[in-house]
Amino acid sequence: MEDRSLRMPSDDEIAAINARHLIQTPLRPADLLFVFGTRVDVAERVDAAVRLWRDGLVHWAIVSGGVTPGDISSECEIIKAAMVARGIPAERILEEYRAQNTGENVIFSLPVIDAALGRNAIRSVICLGNSWTARRYPMTLQRHWPEVEKMLVTVDSFATPRALWHTDPEFRRRVLIEWDKIEPYKAKGFIAEWPVG
């Protein structure tokens, strides 16, 4: 079977991905920063979290991510420790350390947020994750927490500019894998359309 992630997308598909998937949102102060766990580009994710904190755009964060095969520390532990080392107070960072995928990041984090802050007190969230996963973070949040306003910040360590993602074989492969998940995940109810409108 053909590996669709290795295809060279058409100009129309590149334009659609740029317009609908690899989106950035305007940022304004948010009630919560939702840091989706990773083992890839951890330093870039922590840099972005610290920048958002120092710029006064967030005053609370949750880091979500479990232990990946072959490791003993959870993504949550590793990312939170790096955020604290860079100056974000540990007591301002909520922890979710079981999630193994984006859906679980949200599903397992909601009770943690509710217990610590009260979900109803949170009106806006900045999602922070990998550039190639892009809008799937807020789409997952939209499926499970539609009431909250969602903003998106994404990071990566590719030297290739984001608009030229399709010219870098590995960047292209990662983007296409995530892009190809959108419609099947919507059909299965894992994610919901976002932005709405």
What pTM, to 2 d.p., does this model score?
0.94
Residue 24 lies in a domain: no
The 10s digit of each residue's pLDDT in 38-95 is 988 999 999 999 999 999 999 999 999 999 888 899 999 999 999 999 999 999 999 9
Burial class (CB in 10 A: 0-12, 13-18, 19+), 181: middle
CATH number, domain with residue 160: 3.40.50.620
- Specify the DSSP element, H or E, that contains 197: none
Give residue 115's domain range.
29-188
Which residues lie below 8 Å from residue 28, measured CB to CB, with a gap of 6+?
57, 124, 151
pLDDT value at residue 195: 84
Residue 158 lies in a domain: yes
CA 185, 189, 191, 192 torsion: positive or negative? positive
pLDDT value at residue 1: 65
Residue 90 lies in a domain: yes
Domain count across the chain: 1
pLDDT value at residue 70: 84
CA–CA distance, 181 with 175 (Å, rounded to integer): 10
Residues 186, 193 contacting (CB under 8 angstroms) = yes
Low-confidence ranges of the chain (pLDDT < 50): none
CA atoms within 13 A on the CB side of 81: 7
Residue 99, strand partner residues: none
Residue 23 lies in a domain: no
Peptide bond between residue 195 and the one before it cis (omega within 30 degrees of 0): yes
CB atoms within 10 A of CB 61: 23
Name the nearest CA neighbour of 173 among 143, 135, 127, 132: 132
Burial class (CB in 10 A: 0-12, 13-18, 19+), 99: buried
